[in-house]
Structure 1
Amino acid sequence: MKRIAWILLLSLLLLFVACNQGEDESTDNATDTAGQEKTEQRGWFEREPEPEQTEQPEVTEDTRQQERDKLEAQRKEEYGEFYVPLPGIDADITVSPVTAKGVFVTSPIAAYNFSEENIDWYAAQVEAGNNDYGDTNALERILGLIKATELNTMVVDVKTDDGFVTLDTDLEIIQRVDSDYPQSEDNYQALMQYAEANDIHMIARVVSFKDHHFAETQTDHSIQLTDGGVWRDGAGSAWVNPFDDFVWKYVVAIAKEAALAGFDEIQFDYVRFPDGAASYNPITHFPGREDRRKDDGIADFLQYAVEELKPYGVAVSADVFGIITHTWDDSPEDIGQTWRKISDKVDVISPMIYPSHYSTGWYQYDYPDQHPYGVLYASMQEAIERNAAIDNPAAIRPWIQGFTAPWVDGYMDYTPTAISDQIVACRELGIEEYLIWATNNTYDPGIFRYEDRIDPNVRAANQDLLDQTPADALERFLNAQYHERTVSQYLMTLRSERPRKYEDFLTEWEERGTTLNDYTIPEEQSQGEGETVTLQAHVIYENAEGIADVPDASFEIVQEDGVWKVRMPDLTFETPATEEETEETDEEDTEDTEDTEDTEAEE
């Protein structure tokens, strides 16, 4: 019995131990699983815990208004007499691009009362091809034209050539210098409401630095004579100093007032120095210049204006002399206008391409005024080429001539056909926008009947907007390299393959020191189709590393913004042999020839 008892006791003991081991193994496995889960959570699949969503306190209208009032108090202290309030809290300040086709309207005409019934009546006359004005006034006829034709834009004087502001404003600086000259009883509000309801783009023309009134009343901020006093142009008008930031604040404050009045765009005119710089430069000085070039000063002003106007939801444009589509680096005019330094600052650039303003010889015309189509076509090609060299250029919207200029030798009457010839030239180059300048506020409906004169085949399939074939572009590019014309090289080099600024491009070109000694382009080459064409040329380049003589160099001709540009091939420069090395080579060649002759004789 004792043996049986011991056996039973031993069996129970073994069973108890086995059960304990099973429990331990089970516990270890559980621990391992937890460890694996923990590792996964800390490893590749780790995720930050979602933050607890705390309920944001609701911003009430009262709170928003209190914050705005606080901001306006700060701005009022900062801007002082130039202070203009921001648009309303809920105002839409989105700037949408507009393909503007417009006319100039003087401020007295823009202030006229108008009847929508008269506008509609005149629009019907235009659509019917009748020339009956009836009892309509000048403003009603302009609005009727907009209703009946492709026109969609009005440019209205807000700050005039004499420096007077046509808005009714409480702006402190305007009151102090007494430059307010309101034209409209309701501050153009009836016109603005009609424009908004009929999708009319309203542009405020703000004359910037030609301001006789301000220059005479604030003489410290005018162009100064070095001997003391205020400089005046040939007509006796004083100009404000375009380098003076006090003047900048004044001009931009007026632009802000125009934005609050409902204008969609601010157009800065006379955004330049006076012409005739050669006569006044030696006798004047400009406080605040700080060794800047004039064109850099104008660019700085436009940059300042664009930044200041951003909260007001308006586009910004600049009027420029027509000839700056052709000139480079503000030379020789020295008026502060260089295309590339303005086009990358504003939304729209408006060169004033009036054929009557070009002298004999321009674009190879004896009397440019007689060639409205040709002058516009040539000048717009120049503008297109300059814009194609800029990363984010302004839209091109030219001012065109809507008037006859009898004071010009060889002038002609600017009939509706002559005026619309300028529009046709623009359209054939893909420029859809234009503004017509006529200070008499008279625009014939016939101007806008031109569609059948647009030539859809004005260029061959492989020509760019400059009328160049790929072969033309390569010839022009290599010719520019051969004659070291850096401007043409800059314009014809792809933007991604050169410094952005011309000044940096010029420095790099000078440091590289590579010259083209000679080139030949084979005549019979396929120019293919598409936006990239490969052409061969025999070129000989030279720099400090040696000479690259490539009989069949491959150049890629690539369209960028509608203009053929040239991509250079990779070049390997080799050090040319010295005179002694050449003589040794010649001797070796002679010896080889003699050995060959001797061998042949023996045979």
Structure 2
Amino acid sequence: MMTSKYISPSASSYHPRRPGRRRALIATAVVLALAGAGWTFLAPGPGVQGLADGAVLDGRKAAQISAYLDAESAGGQDKVRATLDGAVVPVKAEGARLKLALPRLTEGPHTLVVKGESGLPFASYREVVKFTVDATAPDLKVTDPEIKNAADPVTITGKASTDAKVSVDGKEVPIDKAGAFKITVPKGTPVVTITAVDRAGNTTTKAVSARGRRPMIRAAHITAIGWGNDTLRGGILALIRSGKLNAVQLDVKDEDGEVGYASQVPLARQIGAAKGYYDARKAVAEIHAAGAQVIGRIVAFRDPKLGSAAWKSGKHDQVVQTPDGQPYNGGHYGNLSFTNFADPTVRKYNQDLAVEAAQLGFDDILYDYVRRPDGPLSKMRFPGIGSATPEQAITSFVADTRVALRPHAKYLGVSVFGIAATRPTEIAQDIGALVKVSDYIAPMVYPSHWGPGEYGVANPDTAPYAIVQRSLADFARQAKGTQTEIVPWLQDFSMGSKYGPTQVAEQIKAAAANKMNSFILWNAGARYQGAALQQIATH
């Protein structure tokens, strides 16, 4: 017996002078003759509508897909049998159409088979539609470019899924059989956006900084209120105009949890933190006009403003707690002074302020108090931290902020304790991890803050060169092999010993001995000793 041999009824019955009813009679006679001879007659199917053979569907399309048959061509609802991957698919009549009630489609390949009886005697049809559901975004890994000279073009390399098309800043780039790609972008490109799109239309996008290391900065700190003081502001601007400083560290959010400008971040307004001590855009424009950059300091987790508001409103998880669920007493910082770095709302609040400051024109975001409170870890509880360590939670917070800032082409710095280089768990600042997720580390190596005998220095406060040089050497070691700079905070205030231009200059020399030409000076009153500063070389 011969089977599955298809004979077209139009071809077998064709006669130019016998159209219409006579043609149909001839076709029927042919079919009957073939059937009597043991042949199986396969007629054309009705065609599956809404789902094409070979289609690749992403998750959204797979969830919305509908498949139909023309009821008349299919021979009626009772004559149709449909299966998906071998399982029966219900067939429902909807007017002139038959709907194939497909189940929820899972990831991977699928086969839809539709069988039925044709309107012709002894004839049937069988249609097969093979398709794939691919709801997984393509892999995309991009290596942070190593930039040694800001004047050179930047080479971006990475690897994507082999079925994806890759574009860099909207321009498609070739990938090899392993999915690797490489492209050079012009010098001065701040951020490069790489996009991978697979055959289903799933997309993965990454933004990569193409600026390399943070260029040298020599800055001085000033508070939000201080910026409004003509004398304090004028003193710092004079040091900039004289060529001794090239940056201002201006507070965005301070130790009291107050935001210095009229922030539009909803939570800042809700808790009354947005103070408007200065006009952010105006301040940034004035500093830029003087020839300097603006570093926006955000005191992250020491935030009594948010802590008090959260506790009062019953949102206790936003506050660092004791094991029995009470607010942790931050010692000399006071109750409700430390917010919980593991809480999503607290993290997002600080990141939202960072993004807002970037949009307002700040050149850098510098986190401070990005740590747990000092004291025994056994006396603290961080709701929501899960299996992560405090060090890991802090590092992931910084990493998330860096991703959020990349589209704005801003640098991200992290202020850390001097002891963090050798004691990472003491306040949850792991330098080896933080150098991988930030543009610079700003260690507070103030001589007055070291205890007797640290780094073999009997009295660090009276030996500024020795303690700064030795402590920064540990930070240099941990940053080696990365593009992360070390930008130390240096002491321009007296706390025990009298600090004049000589003591400040000794610290600057100690940093330079570790090949660190950047620094930020701290004086709570924003009064700085210009005699300690040399003019910045322009060549």
Classify the secondary structure of the residue corresponding to 1:442.
coil
Where does 1:421-436 land on structure 2 (aligned, <5 Å)? Answer: 421-436=506-521
2:218 to 62, 87, 101: 101
AA at the equivalent of 1:376 = V
CA contact (8 A) 1:325 1:339 kept: yes
In the alignment, structure 1 residue 237 sits paired with structure 2 residue 335: yes
1:227 to 324, 332, 335: 324
In the alignment, structure 1 residue 366 sits paired with structure 2 residue 455: no
Give the Å deviation of 1:190: 3.0
In the alignment, structure 1 residue 395 sits paired with structure 2 residue 493: no
Give the Å deviation of 1:197: 2.7
In the alignment, structure 1 residue 320 sits paired with structure 2 residue 416: yes
In structure 2, the CA distance between the partners of 1:431 and 1:94, relative to structure 1 (3 Å rule), is closer
2:351 to 252, 255, 264: 252
AA at the equivalent of 2:491 = Q
AA at the equivalent of 1:228 = G
Q: Distance in 2 between matches of 1:376 and 1:318?
A: 18
Give the Å deviation of 1:199: 2.9
Give the Å deviation of 1:94: 7.2
Classify the secondary structure of the residue corresponding to 2:346.
helix
TM, length-normalised to structure 1 = 0.51
Classify the secondary structure of the residue corresponding to 1:104.
strand
Q: Distance in 1 between matches of 2:212 and 2:402?
A: 12
Q: Which residue of 1 aligns with 2:287?
A: 195
Q: Which residue of 1 aligns with 2:360?
A: 261
* Structure whose residues are more often helix by fraction: 1
| Per-residue CA distance 1:194-239 (angstroms, 9 max, x = gap) | 2223331100000000111111111221012332332221232321
| Per-residue CA distance 1:442-464 (angstroms, 9 max, x = gap) | 1122111499xxxxxxxxxxxxx
AA at the equivalent of 1:110 = W
Q: Which residue of 2 aligns with 1:415?
A: 500
In structure 2, the CA distance between the partners of 1:93 and 1:265, relative to structure 1 (3 Å rule), is farther
1:288 to 364, 379, 384: 384
CA contact (8 A) 1:420 1:450 kept: no
Q: Distance in 2 between matches of 1:290 and 1:298?
A: 13
CA contact (8 A) 1:326 1:379 kept: no
Where does 1:430-579 land on structure 2 (aligned, <5 Å)? Answer: 430-449=515-534
CA contact (8 A) 2:240 2:290 kept: no
Q: Distance in 1 between matches of 2:490 and 2:284?
A: 25
Q: Distance in 2 between matches of 1:157 and 1:266?
A: 10
CA contact (8 A) 2:242 2:535 kept: no
CA contact (8 A) 1:348 1:395 kept: yes
Greater Rg over alpha carbons, structure: 1
Q: Distance in 2 between matches of 1:374 and 1:284?
A: 35
Identity %: 27
Classify the secondary structure of the residue corresponding to 1:206.
strand
TM, length-normalised to structure 2 = 0.57
Q: Distance in 1 between matches of 2:364 and 2:400?
A: 16
RMSD of equivalent CA atoms: 2.2
| Per-residue CA distance 1:83-128 (angstroms, 9 max, x = gap) | xxxxxxxxx9978832100110111122345xxxxxxxxxxxxxxx
In structure 2, the CA distance between the partners of 1:105 and 1:246, relative to structure 1 (3 Å rule), is same
Q: Which residue of 1 aligns with 2:272?
A: 178
AA at the equivalent of 2:340 = N
Tell me the number of residue pairs that the alignment of Structure 1 and Structure 2 aligns: 322
CA contact (8 A) 1:302 1:346 kept: yes
Classify the secondary structure of the residue corresponding to 1:218.
helix
CA contact (8 A) 1:93 1:314 kept: no
Give the Å deviation of 1:192: 1.6
CA contact (8 A) 1:324 1:338 kept: yes
CA contact (8 A) 1:340 1:386 kept: yes
Where does 1:9-88 land on structure 2 (aligned, <5 Å)? Answer: none
Classify the secondary structure of the residue corresponding to 1:385.
helix
Q: Which residue of 1 aligns with 2:259?
A: 165
Q: Which residue of 1 aligns with 2:301?
A: 209
Q: Distance in 2 between matches of 1:312 and 1:399?
A: 25
Give the Å deviation of 1:270: 0.3
AA at the equivalent of 2:402 = V
CA contact (8 A) 1:100 1:434 kept: yes
AA at the equivalent of 1:260 = Q
Q: Distance in 2 between matches of 1:405 and 1:428?
A: 25
AA at the equivalent of 1:447 = A
* Structure whose residues are more often strand by fraction: 2
Classify the secondary structure of the residue corresponding to 2:331.
coil
CA contact (8 A) 2:327 2:335 kept: no
| Per-residue CA distance 1:528-580 (angstroms, 9 max, x = gap) | xxxxxxxxxxxxxxxxxxxxxxxxxxxxxxxxxxxxxxxxxxxxxxxxxxxxx
| Per-residue CA distance 1:475-529 (angstroms, 9 max, x = gap) | xxxxxxxxxxxxxxxxxxxxxxxxxxxxxxxxxxxxxxxxxxxxxxxxxxxxxxx
Q: Distance in 1 between matches of 2:280 and 2:478?
A: 37
In structure 2, the CA distance between the partners of 1:176 and 1:450, relative to structure 1 (3 Å rule), is closer
